[in-house]
Amino acid sequence: MKKISNDVGLLFRSQIYLDTIPKIIRGMIRGIFFNKKEGLLFVGKKVKIMNSQNIELGRNVKFESYSEIQGLANEKIIFGNNVTIGKGVQIRPSSYYGVGHIGDGLVIEDNSSIGPNGFIGCAGKVQIGKQVMIGPNVTIIAENHNFNDQNMTIKNQGVNQKGVKISDNVWIGANVTILDGVYIHSNTVIGANTLVTKDIPANTVFYNKRTPILKER
């Protein structure tokens, strides 16, 4: 785990320790139920973890308060070293009740993070590489509903999943939505509020261009 900055004074440092120690204790208790755990686990308040026997953890994984991680998937849910799942994040490969399609799950590699209130719908496989920064309120949906048959309800036409892949060293800004079938290549920046529906090449800055309409009063 990284050290606290030397710029942090003694009082603030003490407050950080007082906030962190309960997270470590919760992690020690809940960590025994995971399929694999390699090091410290930090668990915030009111974290919901389901089907933990299908989840593998590296070192220094952090589940911040009110996050929700579901392990019901066809493949292992894997969190690498130094991964942070922000406050209020939901990771859902499948229905709460195990009905319908069982999803493929999530792999998030070393030193990557998901900001507060994100939603990762990993019915199709979601793969997130190393050193990926995902901002607050980001939605990733690795699934689409079929809707071509007009004589049948959309709900009854089933779904399809291509999956989502995000390579190493990517920064995804706040409020971004990434849809199924997208591959974001390495060294890429996705601007805030962007809807991503197609592959993004490496070394790219991508954002939705909006031209405001200006007129005189």
What gap in Å lies between CA 207 and CA 155, rounded to an integer?
32
Instruction: Please give the Cα distance from 163 to 122 (Å, whole number).
Output: 8
Half-sphere exposure (Cβ direction) of 200: Cα atoms closer than 13 Å: 29
Q: Quote the CA–CA distance of 202 and 45 in Å, as a whole number.
A: 38
145 is catalytic: yes
Residue 169 Cα distances to 51, 101, 129, 166, angstroms:
30, 32, 8, 9
Catalytic residue among 13, 36, 48, 145: 145
**DSSP H or E segment with residue 41:** strand 41-43
Provide the annotated active-site residues. Answer: 145
